[in-house]
Amino acid sequence: MTNITWSYSSLKTFEQCPKKYYHLRVLKDVKDEGSEATLYGQELHKAAEEYIKDDVTLPPKFKFIQDTVDAIKKIPGDKHCEMKLGVRLTDAGYEACGFFDKGVWWRGVADVVIIKDDLAFSIDYKTSKNAKYADLKQLDLVAAAVFTHFPQIKKIKSALAFVVSNEFIHKEHFAKMRDSYFASFDPLLDRLANAEETGVWNPNTGPLCRYCPVTTCEHNRR
Ligand code: SF4
Domain containing 165 equals 62-184
Walk along the chain (222 residues) and give the pLDDT tens digit of each residue: 457 899 999 999 999 999 999 999 999 999 988 788 889 999 999 999 999 999 999 999 999 999 999 999 999 999 999 999 999 999 999 999 999 999 999 999 999 999 999 999 999 999 888 888 888 999 999 999 999 999 999 999 999 999 999 899 999 999 999 999 999 999 999 999 999 999 999 999 999 999 899 999 999 987
For 89-140, the DSSP string reads EETTEEEEE-TT-TT--EEEEEEEEEEETTEEEEEEEE-SS-STT--THHHH
Is there a contact between 94 and 87 (Cβ–Cβ < 8 Å)? yes
Longest dimension (CA), the chain: 54
Number of domain units in the chain = 1
User: Is 38 inside a domain boundary?
Assistant: no
Tell which residue, 96, 190, 98, has the closest CA to residue 148.
Answer: 96
Q: Give the Å distances, CA to CA, from 49 to 79, 183, 194.
A: 10, 31, 39
How many angstroms does the Cα of residue 220 sit away from the middle of ligand 1? Answer: 6
Domain presence at residue 192:
no
**209 within 8 A of 14, measured Cβ to Cβ:** no
The answer to whether position 198 is within a domain reads no
Give the CATH number of the domain where residue 101 resides. 3.40.1350
pTM of structure: 0.92
Which residues have CB under 6 Å of ligand 1? 17, 19-20, 203-205, 208-209, 212, 214, 217, 219-220
Q: How far is the CA of 38 from the centre of ligand 1 (A)?
A: 19
Report if residue 48 sits inside a domain. Answer: no
| 80 found inside a domain | yes
